[in-house]
Structure 1
Amino acid sequence: YPEYYLIQHAFENPEAFGQMNSKEIKRLASIADLQLLSISKSHKKLFKALASDNPWERYWALIVCSSYMKKIPQLLPVIKAIANNDNLLINKV
């Protein structure tokens, strides 16, 4: 999660926050780890994460996209749609 979210939701009891959100944190880490794979091995999972209903999955997929951008330009329309329509402001940036 980005720092601003952790300040709002985890600062008082980070251990409890981590335990309550452990499944989601594991999922988000697996999306972040897509950056470690070749684009041929990660692009399907990346497209799926970009289309997720979970804004934090989209957030991490966008971060991964920043390292792949020149390799898969077909992501650009999806990213622009997120930038224009996402309900999470950090994803619009």
Structure 2
Amino acid sequence: MLSPPPVPGSLGVRALDVVTRLHVAAYRLTEGRIGGRLAGAPVLLLGHVGARSVARRTTPLLLLADGDDLVIVGARGGSRAPPA
């Protein structure tokens, strides 16, 4: 059975946000030696700007190969809710 989508501002969502910020910081400080791979797959840091807030953000995403193609995966920590 699928769990309900995360509630904005909940402890779980806030914890995931903190872990994400730590992941990005570790990746940058070590030039990818820490945080550069997750479950064997390379991690891509995607810089983007919030549509309404115009806040600059960086999100770690998985980069997977599908034959000659590359697939970027964003899953909000495995949540069934959209990662956006």
TM-score (norm: length of structure 1): 0.33
Higher helix share: 1
TM-score (norm: length of structure 2): 0.36
